[in-house]
Amino acid sequence: MMKKRYFIPIALVVILLVMANTKPADRYFEIAKNLDVFATLFKEVNNNYVDEVNPNTLMRSGIDAMLASLDPYTNYIPEDEIESYRTQNTGQYGGIGAITRQIGKRTVVTLVMTGFPAEKGGLKVGDEVLKIDEKNLAEITQEEAGNLMKGQLGTAVNLTIKRPGVEKPFVLSFKRDKIKVSNVPHYASVTTETGYIQLTDFTPDAGKEVRQALISLKEKGIKNLILDLRGNPGGLLQEAVNICNLFLPKGVTVVETKGKIKEHNVTYKTLNPPVDLEIPVIVLIDRGSASASEIVAGTLQDYDRAIVLGEKSFGKGLVQINRDLSYNSKLKITTAKYYTPSGRCIQVLDYTHRRPDGSVASIPDSLKRPFKTSKGRTVYDGGGIDPDVVVKNKEIHPVVQTLYINGHLFDFATQYAYSHAVPSSPAAFSLSDADYNQFVQWMKGKTYRYETEADRALQELKEQAKQEQNLATLKPEIDKIESVLAEKKKNDLMVYKQEIKQFIESEILTHYFAEKGNVEAGFKYDNELSESIQLLKNPTKCKQILDGNL
């Protein structure tokens, strides 16, 4: 007998999002009409489609497709995804404080967070987790394994561990605790006069954490500051305001939000006395710096309070809020755009005016408008934050990416860490040439394949020659090029030694020093950091940049 299935009431709420820009009476009629069409369509599909239809899956597909037609940031979060969503937005969860990664069919511990149950209970970076309680990890996905690791505070979890140098697997027991992922994983003095703060998120207390780091560094005598927002995807807008407040006077505008509804038009101002109005600041950004990161960088740039250095930022100028829906679900919806103090909106993609095929275009340079900073420097809207000093990140070569993804760098680092003494500090460690040659020998016989730009270009040439029926004629020359490229790859471990060495050092120092080691391992290879340090040594040049004279 055919089962009758009916639509989920959430559709009634979400459908409202598709209606806009019509007169109220017409709009209400359109809402009612479309709700009726949707409900009857959904019912007919469930009743009459040739195969059995899962109403939850079908509805979810419809909701996701509908919201995707608006922008990527308007999302439906069903009840079974609420915990993951809360973790993402608060940085808190019930767990043991360990990060794992899947390498092939192995689940390995890549980070043990300082001060949490994993560290206290003896878990180590490099351990392979075979089971969580009685669940064999080889039989489940990494996402499922992550969910098993999390749970109610105070509950027990047992991990069956395989450890290098230990003959048999053994079990470690932990009690889950509240894990708070720090917004500031590391801060330090990178020179006697220059402090460094890495900010990776804008979850609750981000402003407080940056404030504490800044005060601590000032107590150590720093006279300059580098605030690293590279790769920071943003988060809570109020935390961006709090961070700007550390460097700006009380009562000045940090950001304005403007939307369709009056209640979404808000001006956010600094509410507290600043920590330091004079300390020279450089803000590091890249293509991964988005949203709240761009508010901090753009606001400090607009007030000529900091030099922004690095690459153009991502360009997300849209503000989202959460709305509670039925059945314990939520809607994250874009309600406004934000504007920096100079009046610019840095949103790079125009979701309002899509192409006929539904694709989205960037705002063209011809439509970008100029704005002025406090000292009269020209800045532009519509395309992210342009750095005052451009420093390009070096692209990671495919051989390095492949060695990382395949786990070869991690496995070598694990072996190295177990057979060498712990250095006195991350800064004191460097992988010697002899150590690197050992890695090259260790790699012999291991499988790793990667495709370079030259490989892709040659493949395109072969495809084109085949279409034009010239492949047979060109084959001898193509074979020669393939042979040359293959021979070159044999030497890539030495050609790209510095890049590979950097990643190995990072993996080794993470084994030794957790988050601190991971961050400080890259200091000596960091072009943006080096440029910032050198720039801060030249106050005259810094002033010229902020005055618009360079």
pLDDT digit string, tens, across residues 504-521: 999 999 999 998 998 999
Residue 365 annotated in active site = no
200-226 average pLDDT score: 97
Q: What is the pLDDT of residues 373-408, one digit of tens each?
A: 999 999 999 889 999 999 988 889 999 999 999 999
Question: What integer pLDDT is reported at residue 23 of this predicted model?
Answer: 63
1: pLDDT strictly greater than 50: no
**Contacts of residue 488, Cβ cutoff 8 Å, sequence gap at least 6:** 495
Q: Is the dihedral of CA 290, 293, 295, 298 positive or negative?
A: negative
415-439 average pLDDT score: 95
CB contact at 8 A, 403 and 448: yes
- pTM above the 0.85 mark? yes
550: pLDDT strictly greater than 60: yes
Q: Which domains does the chain have, with CATH numbers?
A: 10-69 (no CATH), 92-180 (2.30.42.10), 186-326+334-392 (3.90.226.10), 394-550 (no CATH)
Residue 316 annotated in active site = yes
Give the span between the Cα atoms of 413 and 13, in whole angstroms: 52
Residue 366: count of CB within 10 angstroms of its CB: 5
465-476 average pLDDT score: 86
Question: What integer pLDDT is reported at residue 356 of this predicted model?
Answer: 80
**Residue 55, SS3 per DSSP:** helix
Give the span between the Cα atoms of 353 and 220, in whole angstroms: 52
**415 pLDDT band (50/70/90 cuts)?**
very high
355: pLDDT strictly greater than 50: yes
Give the span between the Cα atoms of 23 and 5, in whole angstroms: 35
Q: What is the mean pLDDT of the chain?
A: 91
84: pLDDT strictly greater than 90: no
Question: What integer pLDDT is reported at residue 8 of this predicted model?
Answer: 44
Give the span between the Cα atoms of 87 and 143, in whole angstroms: 14
What is the chain's percent helix, strand, coil content, to nearest 5? Answer: 40, 20, 40
| Terminal-to-terminal C-alpha distance of the chain | 78
For the chain, the maximum distance between any two Cα atoms, rounded to a whole number of angstroms, is: 83
- For residue 364, the one-letter residue type is P
Catalytic annotation, pick one of 291, 329, 506, 532: 291
CB contact at 8 A, 293 and 233: yes
Residue 132: count of CB within 10 angstroms of its CB: 21
365: pLDDT strictly greater than 80: no
74: pLDDT strictly greater than 50: yes
* Residue found under tokens 């690791």: 149
Buried b (16+ CB within 10 A) or exposed e, 464-502: ebeeeeeeeebeeebeeeeeeeeeebeebbeebbebbbb
Question: What integer pLDDT is reported at residue 251 of this predicted model?
Answer: 97
Q: What is the pLDDT of residues 159-206, one digit of tens each?
A: 999 999 999 999 999 999 998 889 999 999 999 999 999 999 999 999
Question: What integer pLDDT is reported at residue 4 of this predicted model?
Answer: 42
Helices within 5-78 (DSSP H only): 10-14, 24-48, 55-68
13: pLDDT strictly greater than 60: no
539-549 average pLDDT score: 93
- For residue 449, the one-letter residue type is R
- For residue 140, the one-letter residue type is I
Q: What is the pLDDT of residues 524-541, one digit of tens each?
A: 999 999 999 999 999 999
Of 64-78, 210-224, 292-306, the least confident: 64-78
CB contact at 8 A, 336 and 77: no
Question: What integer pLDDT is reported at residue 99 of this predicted model?
Answer: 92
Question: What integer pLDDT is reported at residue 28 of this predicted model?
Answer: 82
For residues 120 and 92, which has the higher predicted lDDT (pLDDT)? 120
User: CA-based Rg of the chain, rounded to a whole angstrom?
Assistant: 27
Give the span between the Cα atoms of 226 and 529, in whole angstroms: 8
Length of the chain: 550
241: pLDDT strictly greater than 70: yes
Q: Which of 319, 313, 368 is nearest to 339 (CA)?
A: 319
Residue 291 annotated in active site = yes
**21 pLDDT band (50/70/90 cuts)?**
low
Q: What is the pLDDT of residues 260-292, one digit of tens each?
A: 999 999 999 999 999 999 999 999 999 999 999
Catalytic annotation, pick one of 302, 381, 386, 492: 302
311: pLDDT strictly greater than 70: yes
31-35 average pLDDT score: 90
C-alpha pair distances (Å), 420 with each of 3, 47, 76, 482, 508: 66, 67, 50, 41, 10
82-98 average pLDDT score: 86
Catalytic annotation, pick one of 316, 330, 501, 516: 316
Question: Helix 408-419 crosses helix 398-405 at what angle (to 10 degrees)?
Answer: 70
